[in-house]
Amino acid sequence: MERFMENLTLSKDEEVIIEENTIPIEGSDQELCLVGRFLIDRSINFNAMKNRLASIWRSGKGICIKELEGNLYLFQFFHKIDMKRIQEGGPWSFDNHLLILHKLESGEIPSMIAFHEVDFWVQVFDLPIGFMSKNIGKLLGDFIGKFVAYDISNNSSIWRNFMRIRVTIDATKPLKRFKKIRKQGGDWMIVNFKYERLTQFCFICGLLGHTDRFCEKIFSTPEDDIKKNGESSSVHR
């Protein structure tokens, strides 16, 4: 059977051309690879991005950054500590464009990955007394996106007037800016969300990746409503 397969050829009608970016990345170092896209509809300056991120990340054991195709990049680390630090230290950006990273799993094809989830630290302001707890943080985190972690160290200072939680955000959906909450039998109160290290954000539609200047919704939104949205927004960098 093996000899038969060795002598097997394909006719022109049966030939298959496999493009490089549709081949899964294999090898023993795959477990130390992240792939990523920038939240932008065009390519960026690859060399400038590579040098900038390498300088910021300062990987102890080094890093190899490769462009797989337009706006699709491979980040290969050489120690799990370096990769974990980058995963947990985000979100990252270049030239104010958000980088969405994904841990490459066995057999995954980079060009087929949907890049839409990114972790943010979110500050929650105006919480009623007694609401500064992990249980409340989890409820709010799951409202914003998917709760990841609660920063207990943020509560150590008497000067802290906000809760800090880490949340996985779906970048294809508008950012949540506030939430109405109340104690049982009490009055409704509004808590406001502020996103740390926020990149380009649109006050009109609430989406990441562009500003209100380039939002399609601006052509169908009354000017007074645009001003209200901008004035009431609680997001910040």
Per-residue pLDDT of the chain (237 residues; tens, 9 = 90+): 444 344 444 444 444 443 444 444 555 467 899 999 999 888 889 999 999 999 999 999 999 999 998 899 999 999 999 999 999 999 999 999 999 999 988 888 888 999 999 999 999 999 988 888 999 999 999 999 999 999 998 876 666 789 999 999 999 999 999 999 988 878 899 999 999 999 988 888 888 988 888 787 776 666 665 554 554 445 554
Residue with tokens 């049966």: 14
Residue 108, domain member (yes or no):
yes
pLDDT in the model for residue 226: 55
Contact indicator for 67, 38 with CB cutoff of 8 Å: no
DSSP reduced 3-state for 140? helix
Domain residue limits at 37 = 26-112
- What total number of domains does the chain contain? 2
Q: Could you tell me which of 91, 87, 63, 65 has the C-alpha nearest to residue 77?
A: 63
Mark whether 167 and 194 lie in a shared domain.
yes
Among the candidates 61, 81, 112, a domain finishes at: 112
Mark whether 34 and 70 lie in a shared domain.
yes
Mark whether 79 and 102 lie in a shared domain.
yes
Contact indicator for 190, 180 with CB cutoff of 8 Å: yes
Mark whether 108 and 127 lie in a shared domain.
no
Q: What does pTM read for this prediction?
A: 0.78
Q: With 0-12 CB in 10 A as exposed, 13-18 as middle and 19+ as buried, what is 53? A: buried
Mark whether 76 and 126 lie in a shared domain.
no
Among the candidates 64, 83, 112, a domain finishes at: 112
- How many residues in the chain? 237
Mark whether 101 and 121 lie in a shared domain.
no
Distance, CA of 44 to CA of 50 (rounded, Å): 10
pLDDT in the model for residue 16: 40
* Token digits of residue 59: 């990987």
pLDDT in the model for residue 204: 84
Mark whether 147 and 105 lie in a shared domain.
no
User: Would strands 189-195 and 178-181 be described as parallel, antiparallel, or unpaired?
Assistant: antiparallel
Mark whether 86 and 134 lie in a shared domain.
no
Residue 226, domain member (yes or no):
no
Residue 10, domain member (yes or no):
no
Residue 15, domain member (yes or no):
no
